[in-house]
Structure 1
Amino acid sequence: MRNLQGRLDLCSVNTATLGHREPLSITIDRIAAAGFGGIAPWRHEVENANVTDVARQIRALGLSVTGYCRSTYLPATSQAQFAANIEANKAALRDAAILKARAFVMVVGGLPEGSRDLDGARAQVIDGIGELLETARGCGVPLALEPLHPMYAADRAVLNTLAQALDICAELDPGHEGHLGVAVDVYHCWWDPALRASIARAGQDDRLLAFHVCDWLRDTRDLLLDRGMMGDGVVDLPDIRRSVEQAGYDGLVEVEIFSKENWWRRDPGEVLRMCADRLQTVC
């Protein structure tokens, strides 16, 4: 396992960690000045700016884009809406290419409004990823399928385990032609009894595209917006990182924390300092 002490160049900050409270240009400057090697911006930030200017600023500061967050949800109640979702994702992939993102993060979506058809939603997800794969290859930006915790199956993601994501990869890219893999986010997968076996499989299949860290608070108050700072919860972060890196992952370790009532209320400089400290001491 790599030693992160004194190696913030091996670490990245997802801009959600700072709560989207400042213009993206300021956030980019902050992350670079704090010594991190990478950044993962969100679409609404980039789309509210100029993607070419954003890309230029990021490169000028020596940052890499570890991921572009996130996909438009895929499942829909009509074919027209499904097609619109596909087109929105294709446009985002083109922006990801301008940013030179290492991956386009796919949070695939939950059940369409009013639906109870879980199998149907999952079938739409597979169809949608299949339609996006050619665009991803053309743009040179891999699709990183990010399984979300099962508590989000209704509204955010019917993709809920790493094994499930890898099965989709195997179905759509059996020849390992590239540009399709997974994002391992500890918040969503730390509980999974098959996690280590799935990480090993992802490594064998060369599917590991991103690794996200935060912590799961024992007494979490909000299942979406109360993620913990690394070391404040119950996740064995070094053990999971060891598994990911032993499986062959050599990309950046990305901090992604949604924390409406705690970290998003603090000074952004303080948050970045704490991220830097915890990455080097408890991850």
Structure 2
Amino acid sequence: MTLLKAENLSLSLGNTIVVDGVSIHIHEGEFVGLIGPNGAGKSSLLRMLAALSLPNKGEIDIAAENSLASIKKISAPMRARFMAYLAQHESPAWPLSVKNLVALGRSPWNSTVNTSADDEVAIAAALEMTDVKSLAERPVTELSGGELQRVLLARVFAGKPQLIIADEPIAALDVYHQLHIMELLQAHSQQGGAVIAALHDLSLAARFCSRLVLMHHGKLVAVGEPVQVLTPENLAQVYGVKAYVDCRDDGVVIIPTHRMVQTL
């Protein structure tokens, strides 16, 4: 089942085109890795898919009510139940406890200030699965960057969305927790949901994602299985590096060897 269909999306900021005619479909069961260098347009694309930015051109349909409909016609509460967005950078301004911040993920399902029994179960499960249960009473303003990132992801899981849109979800994490979060996102997709996440670690993207979308200068360069996308030729064209690419049973290992001289 197609959960999201975006056609010919374009976005300009001032006189700069940051997303240029991008079309992408996300299906149930997929973990899609969005890759590309800094400034490729990944964050701008994700914000449009999450209905946080309006494209200058193009259409987005989502299956929030079990059949595709224009995202413009879906109410904000229904969108929030269907999909959750994890931003690249978020700094809480108020010293909420970890548990209370995670509880905000239940807002689309609960119109009252009091949490229901179902809410409490979802919150407890999210704290447990992201390994932040021991931090439940800590103020979020006292957390390290990696701890805060896991708490914000717990808020996403507490809402039980079908589609997760994540912008660099493992950027601030140590290696152990990078693997943990990638496992959680992969499990979410394998259990009937879907994930699209911007990622910079190409080896982890290759290992965990079912499909990769490679962007450069706002355009799609390659889409497909990791072994089809992460070729030495694509890495040279997009990242400006020569790299050793080792295809293994458990994924693709990327070892950059040196930078190439780039010309504009």
TM range (shorter): 0.3 to 0.5
Report the structure, 1 or 2, having the larger helix content.
Answer: 1
Report the structure, 1 or 2, having the larger strand content.
Answer: 2
Q: What is the TM-score normalised by the length of structure 2?
A: 0.38
Larger Rg: 2
Q: What is the TM-score normalised by the length of structure 1?
A: 0.36
Of structures 1 and 2, the one scoring higher in RCO (CA 8 A, sep 6+) is: 2
